[in-house]
Amino acid sequence: MKKPNVAILGATGAVGQEFLKLIEERKFPFDELKLLASKRSAGKKIDFMGKTYIVEEAKAESFENVQIALFAGGAASKTFAPEAVKRGAVVIDNSSAFRMDPAVPLIVPEVNPEAIKDHKGIIANPNCSTIIMLMALKPIYDQVKIKRIVVSTYQAVSGAGKEAIDELTNQTQAVLENRPVEANILPSASLPKHYQIAFNLIPHIDVFVEDDYTKEEMKMVNETRKILNDQTIAVSPTTVRVPVYRSHAESINLELYGPMSQAEAKAALSGFPGVIVQDNPAEMEYPMPLYSSNKDEVFVGRISEDKSIAHGLNLWVVGDQIRKGAALNALQIAEYMIEHKMV
């Protein structure tokens, strides 16, 4: 089998660096590798698998003779994805630019791999919170259709970039040392007002849109319906930034169309690839962000029947949003394409 030439756009960022770790860990097959970034990062040296790579400034011609282009996300996707496709590459994109485009498949490989074949050069990676949620919901949905989802997320600061990680550290130190706290990043550096995240929760991720939901919340609504190919599912999300470095957590309440017991839910989840059931309240065993960080799997616990409605379930779901919520999911799409000779 001929190995593909691979390009990583955004190679110096958190997701780009995670791509490199995973390519090595998973022995992802490639012939040539191009590391691309903005002009600001061009020229940086990255040692990878015994070789030193020079990061190149991303240009349209960078994608010549590239078969798989892994895009870490950001505004550059809109500019470079069409250029890469024009030159024969398949783009797997982590940005939100193409997710709701009807011509672009939105893929979680364990959930809807059959949609990959419909791509026209671009495949979209869903939002991290959507990926983590659907990994837990798909085995339930396959057995008993879901009528309504109420989800509250507890999202780590790394989802807002390295600057947010640094700010959490700096603010925590300032509070503990009784110094003034500076807030310049969250909810978003682009917004006119910022709040302390250390020892605090911020119920605001991305910008507010129609009906005072945030863009992050509406991603979970629209992407869930597209991935499951079910426009009837009602989704009520609240997304919250929490003072945790890495891994998102989600409290999920489901209303189903039919009965599913706690035991049946545990059995369905236990048999689903990429999911680990960690649910033993008697021994105080349940998923937590600290212990799911740098893990590939999505962890599910606190599984219980909701006694307030006829067919209800409660789940607590935790996953590393940089791995399964971003880089790993994209790489799994590429692996699926190679395995099924789509590249």
Catalytic residues: 128, 248
Same domain, residue pair 108 and 192:
no
Q: Is the residue at 182 inside a domain?
A: yes
Number of structural domains in the chain: 2
The CATH number linked to 195 is 3.30.360.10
Distance (Å, whole) CA 237 – CA 303: 19
Q: Which residues contact 301 (CB under 8 A, 6 or more apart)?
A: 277, 278, 279, 285, 286, 287, 315, 316, 318
Nearest in space to 9 (alpha carbons), one of 29, 32, 35, 33: 35
- 260's tokens: 């599913």
Per-residue pLDDT of 5-27, as tens digits, reads 999 999 999 999 999 999 999 99
Q: Is the pLDDT of residue 1 over 80?
A: no
Per-residue pLDDT of 272-326, as tens digits, reads 999 999 999 999 999 999 999 999 999 999 999 999 999 999 999 999 999 999 9
Q: Is the residue at 176 inside a domain?
A: yes
Structural domain boundaries, residue 79: 6-126+326-339
Distance (Å, whole) CA 204 – CA 153: 11
Q: Please measure the distance between the N-terminal and C-terminal CA atoms of the chain and give it in whole angstroms.
A: 11
Q: Is the residue at 1 inside a domain?
A: no
Q: Is the residue at 86 inside a domain?
A: yes
The CATH number linked to 10 is 3.40.50.720
Residues 194 and 187 sit within 8 Å (Cβ to Cβ)? yes
pLDDT in the model for residue 2: 85
Q: Is the residue at 54 inside a domain?
A: yes
Same domain, residue pair 174 and 293:
yes
Same domain, residue pair 304 and 196:
yes
Nearest in space to 168 (alpha carbons), one of 180, 182, 152, 178: 182
Q: Is the residue at 34 inside a domain?
A: yes
Distance (Å, whole) CA 147 – CA 104: 26
Q: Is the pLDDT of residue 85 over 90?
A: yes
Same domain, residue pair 213 and 107:
no
Same domain, residue pair 303 and 165:
yes
Q: What angle do CA 177, 245, 295 make, to 5 degrees?
A: 145
Q: What is the pTM of this model?
A: 0.97
